[in-house]
Amino acid sequence: MVSTIDASARSKALDIIKSSMREIIEQIEKGEKPTLVMPKRTLTNTIYDYKHKMLLLGPELQKRSFTDVNEAKKFMQTLLMASIIYDALRNNEYPTIRDLYYRGKHSITYKSIDGKRVSENTWDEQRESDSVIRDLEVLLSVLREDLLILSKEKGKVVGNLVIRSGDDVIDLSKMGHGAYAIEPTPDLIEFVDIDAEYILVVEKDAVFQQLHRYGFWKKNKAILVTSAGQPDRATRRFVRRLSEEYNLPVYILADSDPYGFYIYSVFKAGSITLSYESERLATPTAKFIGVMMTDIFGDSIFRKIIKDREARKILEEITPGITDLKPKTPYLSESERSNFIIKAKTRDLERAVELIGYRVAEVCIEEKDAKNKIKKKEGLTGYPWFTTPQWVRELCIFFNTLSKLEIEAMASKGLKFLADKYIPEKISTGDWID
Amino acid sequence: MVSTIDASARSKALDIIKSSMREIIEQIEKGEKPTLVMPKRTLTNTIYDYKHKMLLLGPELQKRSFTDVNEAKKFMQTLLMASIIYDALRNNEYPTIRDLYYRGKHSITYKSIDGKRVSENTWDEQRESDSVIRDLEVLLSVLREDLLILSKEKGKVVGNLVIRSGDDVIDLSKMGHGAYAIEPTPDLIEFVDIDAEYILVVEKDAVFQQLHRYGFWKKNKAILVTSAGQPDRATRRFVRRLSEEYNLPVYILADSDPYGFYIYSVFKAGSITLSYESERLATPTAKFIGVMMTDIFGDSIFRKIIKDREARKILEEITPGITDLKPKTPYLSESERSNFIIKAKTRDLERAVELIGYRVAEVCIEEKDAKNKIKKKEGLTGYPWFTTPQWVRELCIFFNTLSKLEIEAMASKGLKFLADKYIPEKISTGDWID
């Protein structure tokens, strides 16, 4: 019943775990203290590689020794998790991280040095077992998907693309009004045939449905993907592989708010706390196509801000070249704007500061109340990939207007407008942010 | 580009709106006051039909007259929405309810009787426009999907099933490791061929992935569906159609907690506040296969409770026959239980009372603190379809243990256990709750 692809992935994974654990056995046989050595998964060891435009783990290593009282528990948790995963692989299973948490959760009772009976849990919360899985990923230099650990998966795709998954060949241009739900192990997909010029990733499933139904991908030779909100690992890996292997541009269409900008950021550079994944999950060439603040407001607000000498100086210092940006005209009329925009919440403001840093916010926010709300974020410098003239302009307009806008508002101007004008025009004129 | 199926759905929808609006024109031409008449969408007009096992709207009607100052706004909102949807249909669009909210949102300025300029918004929040869409659905006797209103869609399916959707014929047994994402308008699907004995609906996407990958649906001739949490309209309609048209039993596999029980309830009877949909969305034959409280604890706890004469009297009164239930043995050992169960939260307790009524809770809860927490729910009688001996036993055990359990805990006993023993055994022995 099980596909040959899974069978070979399984035996590969078993070998990887076996050879890593063999090292421990060798240490013991040599009389050494059993020790695990793996890259450090800390923020200080997370580096943004400007050349590859990716978050990567740095060179720092950490050791987990069985005989060190501070490390013994972590050492044992790691070995416990490795053995559970090993057993699952051997038993033809496909555990989830929730499963693995349950499988390993139990109490160990032992006699302490002073003769007391002590009982300790392997782990209490899933947070703990998840962290152990991450340790194993960096220890073994694999992603959990390579160990056939599955997870829920929201990503969908349609387009002129033929894939082989499991034992089936699937034509993703023949999905009717439905779509193909991406598998949780996208590295096991084989791309058989493709006829596309770019990949359009839509944040919202409902907008994906509209564009799909309208025939957008046929008309524009696009591969249409939705992440249905915050993208999961499989969707990110799928987009990355497709763009890399066929050298296709990736455009992200998300809401015009810090949450939408963050979704672009996760596709492009990955999560800052899970940088070890980025090397395989991030798509550094991904471009934000919209909805931009400048699509809503144009850039007159921004030009007014940088008329102020002091503001201009600070913003030029943060991103040289910001005063040379080409002017932009909005897609929305005054009355559409007033019907469509939504007031930003404190959480939006805070997230925006996390993206771009406190200084941009300080220069652009006029409202006192809003200024106070983000005081606690003072000192934040923002993510390197957001510190570009275009993004600073976008965020500056956000901070000044304290407004946001959903893709649906663009669709409500007419699906024709969204599908036949807005998206194709932005792509053909290069009106995106890299 | 647009499929012929959509074209015909579109022209049908246009006709329905046109003929309904023609009535208004006729009223005006006859010199009558323009009035809309539609079934009342209130709780008092919501009836549980014991024969069809469904929530339905009762016979009460409501009128919306243009010339009644209290109804004029609602009347105009309804006509505004009808005209927006009509335009969208004519323009080959596929709006979402969010779209429709944006499309209609604007201010109307007019002179009041006393000569003042007054400005009023068509609607302010989506709650308002959504309610207008529901009014239109009952006015026109259609579901919004019949008007080609799309929405996000989480449901997925795999199995020996061939469908026609749009212009494509799709074999749902050839989806590789991925799945088929159900379209938002499942009434436009044509079932071409099927070879299955039952439909298994899994609440959790991650468990769906595991069972799919394990080949469960091939081995058991099942159509495997996931709602990925709370089911959306399309998934419910898809399951209903499939079960009805092929007379297939539907089994729901959800977490063992009031939230999981509620998911079964939505599939089976529909939402109590949206009963007008149930006629087409609910699957009254759906059975809850697990995870049951009795799968975890057996029924000794329950038998202890009904040893008490007073408790037995009350529970017999609520559901005659409760003392005749066959005994049940648990699937979990003592130590598995202690590792797997999760403490129920106040929200779980409250939801459980909503399902089964306050009296069952009162009889079964021993803990004082928990008793106090649900005091405010006093008087609730529960849903009719939960007032059965089996469900009362389940909830009684829940109230007594204040514990819940996830499907993943069952999977962590081994996917083999879940796929080859637990599910097939429960189905073959009829160990479900109707």
Question: Which of these ranges, A57-66, A270-279, B66-75, B166-175, has the smallest mean pLDDT?
Answer: A270-279
| Nearest residue of A to residue B92, measured between CA atoms | A214
| Nearest residue of A to residue B174, measured between CA atoms | A168
What average pLDDT score do residues A156-166 get?
Answer: 98
- Active-site amino acid positions of A: 102
- A179 CB neighbours in chain B (<8 A) are 180-181
Q: Are A209 and B151 within 8 A, CB to CB?
A: yes
Q: Are A164 and B181 within 8 A, CB to CB?
A: no
- A4 CB neighbours in chain B (<8 A) are none
Q: Are A183 and B185 within 8 A, CB to CB?
A: no
Q: How far is A17 from chain B (nearest CA, A)?
A: 20
**Nearest by CB to A168, which of B106, B176, B414?**
B176
Q: How far is B279 from chain A (nearest CA, A)?
A: 24
CA dihedral A267, A270, A271, A275 (to 10 degrees): 160
Interval A85-139: pLDDT, tens = 999 999 999 999 999 999 999 988 889 888 899 888 999 999 999 999 999 999 9
B102 catalytic? Reply is yes
Q: Are B154 and A151 within 8 A, CB to CB?
A: no
Interval A54-73: pLDDT, tens = 888 899 999 999 999 899 99
| B16 residue type, one letter | I
Residue A234 class from Cβ within 10 Å (0-12 exposed, 13-18 middle, 19+ buried)? buried
Query: What distance in Å separates the CA atoms of residue B391 and residue B405, rounded to the nearest whole number?
Result: 16
What average pLDDT score do residues B412-432 get?
Answer: 95
Q: How far is A382 from chain B (nearest CA, A)?
A: 32
What average pLDDT score do residues B171-175 get?
Answer: 98
Question: Which of these ranges, B43-52, B157-166, B324-333, B339-348, has the smallest mean pLDDT?
Answer: B43-52
Phi, psi of A131 (to 5 degrees): -65, -35
Q: Are B181 and A181 within 8 A, CB to CB?
A: yes
- B151 CB neighbours in chain A (<8 A) are 206, 209
What integer best gives the mean pLDDT of chain A?
94
Q: Are A174 and B170 within 8 A, CB to CB?
A: yes
Instruction: Indicate the pLDDT class of residue A275, thresholds 50, 70 and 90.
Output: confident
* Whether residue B273 has pLDDT greater than 80: no
**Nearest by CB to A205, which of B152, B207, B209?**
B152
Neighbouring residues of A422: CB distance < 8 A, sequence distance ≥ 6: A290, A295, A331, A410
* Whether residue B379 has pLDDT greater than 90: no
pLDDT at B317: 93
- A102 CB neighbours in chain B (<8 A) are 339-340, 408-409, 411-412
Q: Are B152 and A412 within 8 A, CB to CB?
A: no
Instruction: Indicate the pLDDT class of residue A37, thresholds 50, 70 and 90.
Output: very high
Query: What distance in Å separates the CA atoms of residue A118 and residue A372, rounded to the nearest whole number?
Result: 50
**Nearest by CB to A209, which of B166, B184, B209?**
B184
pLDDT at B307: 93
**Nearest by CB to B165, which of A177, A184, A414?**
A177
CA distances for A294 relative to A181, A320, A326, A390, A420, angstroms: 33, 20, 11, 10, 20
Q: How far is A172 from chain B (nearest CA, A)?
A: 10
* Whether residue B52 has pLDDT greater than 90: no
- A334 CB neighbours in chain B (<8 A) are none
Q: Are B176 and A165 within 8 A, CB to CB?
A: yes
Interval A334-388: pLDDT, tens = 989 988 999 999 999 999 999 999 999 999 998 899 999 999 899 898 999 999 9
| Nearest residue of A to residue B206, measured between CA atoms | A152
Q: Are A214 and B182 within 8 A, CB to CB?
A: no
Q: Which of B48, B50, B86, B102 is catalytic?
A: B102
Parallel, antiparallel or unpaired: strands A222-226 and A198-202: parallel
* Whether residue B227 has pLDDT greater than 80: yes
Interval A72-81: pLDDT, tens = 999 999 999 9
Query: What distance in Å separates the CA atoms of residue A228 and residue B229, rounded to the nearest whole number?
Result: 14
Query: What distance in Å separates the CA atoms of residue A54 and residue B288, rounded to the nearest whole number?
Result: 47
Neighbouring residues of B111: CB distance < 8 A, sequence distance ≥ 6: B117, B118
Q: Are B102 and A408 within 8 A, CB to CB?
A: yes
What average pLDDT score do residues B25-50 get?
Answer: 92
Instruction: Indicate the pLDDT class of residue B1, thresholds 50, 70 and 90.
Output: low
DSSP symbols for B152-213: ----EEESSEEEEETTEEEETT--TTSEEEPPS-GGG-EEEEE--SEEEEES-HHHHHHHHH
- E strand or H helix at B27: helix B4-29
pLDDT at B123: 94
Give the residue among A195, A145, A198, A193 at the shortest CA–CA distance from A169. A193
